[in-house]
Amino acid sequence: MKRFILASASSSRARLLRAAGVEFEIVPAAVDESVLKRASVADGHDAATMALRLAAEKARSVAELHPDTVVLGADQILMFDGEAVNKCRDAREAFGLLRQLRGRTHELVTAAVLAANGAEIWNHVDICRMTMRNYSDAFLSMYVSRADGALLHSVGCYEFESLGVQLFDRVEGDFFSILGLPLLPVLAALREYGVIEQ
């Protein structure tokens, strides 16, 4: 089997791959996401193209340093009212964002890219529609305090696999993509490229 690297520091993505029995190393990509996002916006890219561009840059940059290795890069873009939302810097920002999203629908765009020898060899993008319930400020305060710093790791400030699921009324899309990785398509690609058994 080929050597496999996850070019991400995301604990959620690592957890999904480990639970699926995939052996891998973690080498976070040294990529300035804010610069790439600004360039994508300036180029007029839609959310799917933006997410794919970020995921591809992460995968390619690590693959260039590790020849003959399959590298997985991934990224998520949250689109709300036609704008890409950035990760929050602190609990106050998270509270404000979740108040804006309350009772509304947003799109969560998840991209995954495989690269080898510095070149992209596979990509996939999923778009999930996420509808939040009209939760109270009291619930929101409790959520932000209990989620602590963990909510700052996700672009929407929710950990859907835990307490964050209580923020939602309805979701349309793949559960694994919401967690940060379109797992079933990724596993199929890993089988195709000789990383895991067919």
- The pLDDT score that the predictor gives to residue 181 is 97
pLDDT > 90? residue 80: yes
Mean per-residue pLDDT, 79-98: 90
Contact 2, 69 (CB under 8 A): yes
Mean per-residue pLDDT, 11-25: 96
Q: Which residue has the tokens 């895991």?
A: 196
Mean per-residue pLDDT, 34-41: 74
The CATH code that applies to domain 3-192 is 3.90.950.10
Q: What is the DSSP letter of 68?
A: T
- Strands annotated E in 81-151: 83-85, 105-116, 119-132
Mean per-residue pLDDT, 48-61: 94
- The CA distance from 173 to 105, in Å, is 13
Annotation marks residue 46 as catalytic: no
Handedness of CA 131, 180, 161, 85 (dihedral sign): negative
Task: State the catalytic residue, choosing from 68, 75, 148, 169.
Answer: 75
**Cα angle value 103/106/107 (rounded, 5°):** 155
The pLDDT tens digits for 124-149 are 999 999 999 999 999 999 999 887 67
Contact 7, 72 (CB under 8 A): yes
- Strands annotated E in 32-68: none
The pLDDT tens digits for 154-192 are 888 888 888 899 999 999 999 999 999 999 999 999 999
